[in-house]
Copies of this chain bind each other. A is one copy, B any other.
Amino acid sequence: MGTSGKTPHVVILGGGFGGLAAARALSRAPVRLTLIDRKNHHLFQPLLYQVAAAALNPSDIATPIRRILRRQKNVTVILDKAIAIDVAQKRVCLADGTIDYDFLIVATGATHAYFGHPEWARAAPGLKTIEDALEIRRRLLSAYEAAERETDLERQRAWMTFAIVGAGPTGVELAGALAEISRQVLARDFRRIDPRAARIVLVEAGPRVLPTFAPDLSQRAADQLRRLGVEVRMGTAVTTIDEHGLALGDERIEAKTVLWAAGVAASPIAQSLGVPLDRAGRVRVEPTLAVPGAPDVYVIGDLAAVSQAAGQVPGVAQGAIQGGRHAAKNILNTLVGRPRVAFCYRDLGSLATIGRAAAVAQFSRVHLSGFIAWLAWLFIHLMLLIGFRNRFLVLTEWAWTYFTRDHGARLITGSERES
């Protein structure tokens, strides 16, 4: 596939928040667009932990990218994996072929990082894809099944101990959801064990939970977690993880289920750009979001390291969406011969939820917590979900869960990943 005729060809790698925002911003532009993703669906990652916790179905938070862009006639969607970028040739190498571009927007995001311990990946899965969420769900539910069968009390205890490493939003939300599922959803389903006795440990190397929030909200989030029965262990670095548990320095915790929410690394395709990367593997882009020395290549979202006066742009959906729109705008500017402009991130606020009817929210100087923050969280997430169908189904599931304290999607599917 090559550039044909005179219509400029814009290739977008990644159908996440950033890639989709860029595609939509170019819907009326005189360009030919190709969006490439290795999955056929856009994923609403902020709710992925609810799929892991068996509260939502995969299709409630994932929509086929083709479906989203069905009416936008200037875009072609391709299911493929981008392997490398050849900036000199203006070509992307895919798993199945190559594609030439006039402009490129790289929005392939990030994956888990195990801080130099790739061997932890097997014992402590992370949460980035639908497959990850279903694997975590399978482990959680299987752990209770194993505990019910186990006659040795010590081993039973290990099956009923769940450790989550990392207390950013994903870790906090997973811990809250896990506490809820053990204390309420599963409470009456077993005969020999009492799921309410499950031990849930949230381990964080830093001094507080939700480090990107204001300190008072970190404190309130920690309080809300403790009220749900979560052991919050701050200032504690993990030194070992294996299939039987983890070590925090001298202390050993026997836990058959360890989940990883501690670190992300940029998608490895960044390395093929041949420009300096930061420690997490992200591309240090120009203020325009273009790659230094390659003005027609933009990097946005979790893959971009963007410094602003107020600090680094955070790796959240808003950062990716605003970046995608900005890259589109600079491409349009280039096409009409106008100068390209610098990106300016606008912080719209942060939210994290902690179990049923509790959350923390930070909108500039307004800090909320508890039920009111949870309502804000609920409303904003419903509005940001793509498609009326998803909004309606998720609201239905949430109302069901709220009133019945039951999680509907408690299926163990698939088989063990490793063997």
Contacts and interface: CB of A to CB of B under 8 A. Distances in A.
Interface of A: 39-41, 57-60, 62, 64, 66-67, 70, 76-80, 96-97, 130-131, 134, 141-142, 145, 148-149, 188-192, 389-390, 392-393, 396-397, 400, 404, 406, 408-414
B189 A145 contact: no
Given A40-B141, A57-B59, A396-B393, A411 B149 contact: no
B70 A188 contact: yes
Contacts of A409: 57-59
A69 to B, nearest CB: 9
Q: Give the oligomeric copy count.
A: 2
A79 to B, nearest CB: 4
Contacts of A39: 412
Contacts of A188: 70
Contacts of A131: 413-414
18 contacts: A39-B412, A40-B412, A57-B57, A57-B58, A57-B409, A58-B413, A59-B408, A59-B409, A62-B411, A67-B189, A67-B410, A70-B188, A76-B191, A77-B191, A79-B142, A79-B149, A392-B396, A393-B397
A64 B189 contact: yes
A10 to B, nearest CB: 15
Contacts of A411: 40-41, 58-59, 62, 64, 130
A67 B187 CA distance: 11
A145 B79 contact: yes
Nearest to A69: B189
Given A57-B57, A149-B80, A396-B393, A412 B66 contact: no
B41 A134 contact: no
A58 B410 CA distance: 10
Contacts of A134: 413
A410 B40 contact: yes
Contact of A406 (B40, B62, B389): B389
Given A70-B189, A78-B149, A64 B410 contact: yes
A92 to B, nearest CB: 14
Contacts of A76: 191-192
Contact of A400 (B70, B192, B389): B389
Counting chain B CB atoms within 10 Å of each CB, the highest count among A39, A70, A97, A192 belongs to A70
Contacts of A392: 396
Contacts of A96: 149
Contacts of A79: 142, 145, 149, 412
